[in-house]
Amino acid sequence: MQMSSAIKDGGLPAAEDLPGLLGAWAARNPDEVALSYLDFRSHSGGAQSTWTWRELDARVGAVAAWLQRRVRKGAPVAVLIGQTPDYVVAFLGALRAGAAAVPLFTPDMPGHGDRLAAVLRDCASSTVLTTQDAAPSVTAFVETHRLPVAQVISVDTLPSAIAAHFEPVPLAPGDLAYLQYTSGSTGDPRGVMITHGNVVANARQANRAYGMRQDSVTVSWLPLFHDMGLVLSVAAPLVAGVRTVLMDPLAFVERPERWLRALSVNPGAISAAPSFAYAYAAAKVSDWEKSRLRLDTVTALIDGSEPVQAAVIERFHTAFGPCGLRPEVHRPSYGLAEATVFVSASRPGRPAVDHRFDRVALAEGRAVTVDDDAADVVRLVSCGQPIEQGVLVVDPTTRVPSAPGRVGEVWVAGPNVGSGYWNRPEESARVFRNSVNGAGAPGGPWLATGDLGVWYDGELYITGRIKDLIVVDGRNHYPHDVERTVEAAHQAIRPRNVVAFAVSGADGERAVVLAERAKTVPAHGLDHSAVAAAVRAAVADRHALTLREVQIVAPDSLPRTSSGKLSRIACRERYLADSLAETGPS
């Protein structure tokens, strides 16, 4: 039976916040399993522990009881915990206490210490929730960086019995639930203010879009501090009252078969991953491992968080189609933290749709399809249609909706759109409170996403980011399009580990490419000149673009966001800093 709201259908109170929904499910189904955790640290096959709705509710109540006597309503409370059920407990405990949770990560995440410190300073959380195993490193990190943290508490030391002392806190849909910090440069973090109403609305939208049913189960290794991981593993199951299966991202990286195996043994699974994960799984899972998989019961595999690639979808289904995986379960989607996460999704019941567009026309702002055998094309995958919210493609200069087939900025409106950026009123007004011009223009306010897209054949295609657009000699170039060309230019270049961006110089805007060396190619065996020449020739031939510089760097050396994606902003900043160090003041 399809559910619009399981709690209403079941005759329980129609709670409009996640802690209230947890309490309602604990009252209705106290002994049913709410959360399963696969621990691959203690057992290579994944030792499974389970928490019932009653147990989860009691643990959350204990955290809320401890917090409400120490933290004022609406105050930020940071969560620095590994990918375990304790993370879910801490996050929901902060919400139940009326605080604003700040989902983050432990200080041992390589290369992200500066970002973590910057976020903790920005949100000014005086309280940090962690666990006993992480507490020493968290305390040392706070002291080393002289952060404004007054108390660090390990949630796994709080006895469930103290939940009885919790005094209910009224939570309104417009109250702040949590701050979702967006990926970006380390010195300029932005916390999106997500209300209780926002997250419940988006979870309900997603559950209907992806076919959540009463017998569904969500399966995820995505980090809980990431917007898609948080909604998929916490909000969506709470809204629907279904079980969630949680595993650590490292478990997937070590052996992607573990994720596929979890999908196989949990019928009705709904999961999500960025494009690179589907490519990684297709390349790494062995034939013997595939022989143990049964994927015909998977309900939906959401593909988002980074540009969706048609070739990756094809490789994934070539690899796992023999395991019973149906093409229509792959659901290319579009979303962003400012809209909680999910905005649009491919239509259910059909395989992913893609079109080949003329590269030059697309750079000029026109979506013109070409034949499959055409040479100079950009292949884009449809992100479908809006998930019960308004989505426009707008000319960012005139603020007038663009005609179908014309590229513009994607604007979004709906109950899932956040209320702004934490302590950034001017930027919040500029991004979150826009109005559309023109006769009969739909009312707002509208979120200006900064993403470029186009309506084609009634569906949304994302073409790139405004701030990432490379403009050289008056021509637009999409960086991800250039990056795909670079990847294919030479076998010494590591796939999906290339960034292209523009820099300013005396001769105007010019393009730069940074590419990681493939791990199979030793540093002493790399002919930098030959690789750079191949890259320059491929980019010039395909894009009519002359590169200012091509740098081949060591594997895993390019900076990434906290969610694991390459950060063009940080790469550009590092490149400019190195260039300045070499050339000195101009």
pLDDT tens, residue by residue, 132-161: 999 999 999 999 999 999 999 999 999 999
> In whole angstroms, how far apart are CA 41 and each of 46, 59, 89, 157, 226?
8, 23, 20, 21, 22
pLDDT tens, residue by residue, 205-224: 999 999 999 999 999 999 99
Average pLDDT, the chain: 89
> Does some domain include residue 323?
no
> Does some domain include residue 284?
no
- pLDDT-based confidence at 29, cuts 50/70/90? very high
Residue 158's CATH number: 3.40.50.12780
At residue 6, the pLDDT reads: 39
E strands within 24-139? 33-39, 47-52, 76-79, 100-103, 127-130
Is the pTM for the entire model greater than 0.75? yes
Is residue 337 classed as helix, strand or coil in its secondary structure? helix
Closest by CA to 532, choosing from 543, 548, 520, is 548
Mean pLDDT, residues 437-456:
89
Q: Are residues 418 and 533 both part of a single domain?
A: no
Taking the CA of residue 532 as centre, how many other CA atoms within 13 Å lie in the half-sphere pointing to its CB? 14
- pLDDT-based confidence at 542, cuts 50/70/90? confident
Residue 437's CATH number: 2.30.38.10
At residue 479, the pLDDT reads: 80
Q: Are residues 433 and 498 both part of a single domain?
A: no
Break the chain down into helix, strand, coil percent, rounded to 5: 35, 25, 40
Q: Are residues 397 and 476 both part of a single domain?
A: no
Boundary of a domain, candidates 194, 218, 246: 246
Q: Are residues 69 and 108 both part of a single domain?
A: yes
> Does some domain include residue 355?
yes
pLDDT at 179 over 80: yes
User: Which strand (E) or helix (H) includes residue 106?
Assistant: none
- pLDDT-based confidence at 583, cuts 50/70/90? very low
> Does some domain include residue 338?
no
**Which residue segment(s) compose the domain that 385 sits in?**
343-465
Q: Are residues 409 and 544 both part of a single domain?
A: no
How far apart, in whole angstroms, are the C-alpha atoms of residue 52 and residue 26?
8
At residue 483, the pLDDT reads: 84
At residue 570, the pLDDT reads: 79
Number of domains in the chain: 3
Q: Are residues 436 and 502 both part of a single domain?
A: no
Gyration radius of the chain's alpha carbons: 24
pLDDT tens, residue by residue, 255-266: 999 999 999 999
Boundary of a domain, candidates 414, 446, 465: 465
Structure tokens at 464: 């790139």
Boundary of a domain, candidates 418, 446, 465: 465
